[in-house]
Amino acid sequence: MLHVGIDLGGTNIAVGIVNEQNEIIGKGNLKTAKSGTAEDTVKDMAAAVQLALDNTGITIDEIADIGIAAPGSVDPETGIIAYANNIPFKNTPVCAMLQEALGKPCYIENDANAAAYGELLAGAGQGAANFVMITLGTGVGGGVIIDGKIYGGFNHAGAELGHMIIVKDGEPCTCGGKGCFEAYGSATALIRQTQRAMDKHPESIMWELSKEKGVSGRTAFDAMRAGDPVAKQVVEEYIDYLACGVTSLVNIFQPQFVAVGGGICNEGETLLAPLREKVAAGDYNKDAQKRTVICKAALGNDAGIIGAAGLYRLY
């Protein structure tokens, strides 16, 4: 049988038809409506599923179940999304609604957790029982896999990796706290750090590189490669903050792998090599023969789809 994975985002509803080998054999994509009710959003999800089926030449009868990777506060046991800030869900029984629309069993997980599970099934975490993924984007997201299962805590709100404190009374975070990992390790944080350095150093190459498209997560890395010492300092300080968070995750969970995803991971070894060195120095288990491997996430935007499609294995 085949399985459907839905990656529900504030901008797009991405759907994949996934086989038993965790391979996506067809896709459909629709824009997420910026206005409307929860019922409208569920109708759009059903329409995106039908689009993926039509694109693949598969009927709904060949589908065993549907999994949803959703933002916000998600309860996999009840199928309810308690709250999602960019989508009109508030204590909404999304699984029951989609099951009624499509006539198939539905499963749901937080999108970051589902992406981590997707990497476990078919990406950087294959073969691991204990695995952590972090995603460096607008914020710092991620998921924790323990003994092959998604860890969410007793209330399904655990593993908010971006909101552990790494600097007491530090930078303000969007969550309302201060000093969160997200406020220092996200792409947003790197852009802010880059802009501050540029403001202090009008001679920096970063000004020239940012003329056309503005400051991005690549600006400091590109300028560093061009020989800019100011950019080099920005990159080194950013990786220091990143290593602080990742070292804590390693010391808490001692996973087989930590996979780094998000746009910044495309820097490859320029990012990962110094990150590994710094984390290895701070790893409490540094003298053990078995050490956590830090690697790049493998599935990109497909991770959530594959993880969602595989949720039937867990629930």
d(CA 285, CA 220): 32
Q: What is the pLDDT of residues 102-156, one digit of tens each?
A: 999 999 999 999 999 999 999 999 989 999 999 999 899 999 999 999 999 998 8
pLDDT beyond 80 at 96 = yes
pLDDT beyond 90 at 86 = no
Q: Write the burial class of residue 84 (CB in 10 Å: 0-12 exposed, 13-18 middle, 19+ buried).
A: buried
Q: Which domains, from first to last, does the chain contain? A: 2-118+302-313 (3.30.420.40), 128-297 (3.30.420.40)
Q: What is the pLDDT of residues 34-71, one digit of tens each?
A: 778 999 999 999 999 999 999 999 999 999 999 999 99
Residue 285 binned pLDDT confidence (cut-offs 50, 70, 90): confident
pLDDT value at position 288?
83
**Which runs of consecutive H residues, i.e. helices, occur in 166-228?**
182-185, 187-200, 205-209, 219-225
Name the more confident of 310 and 1.
Answer: 310
**Which runs of consecutive H residues, i.e. helices, occur in 74-122?**
94-102, 111-122
pLDDT value at position 220?
98
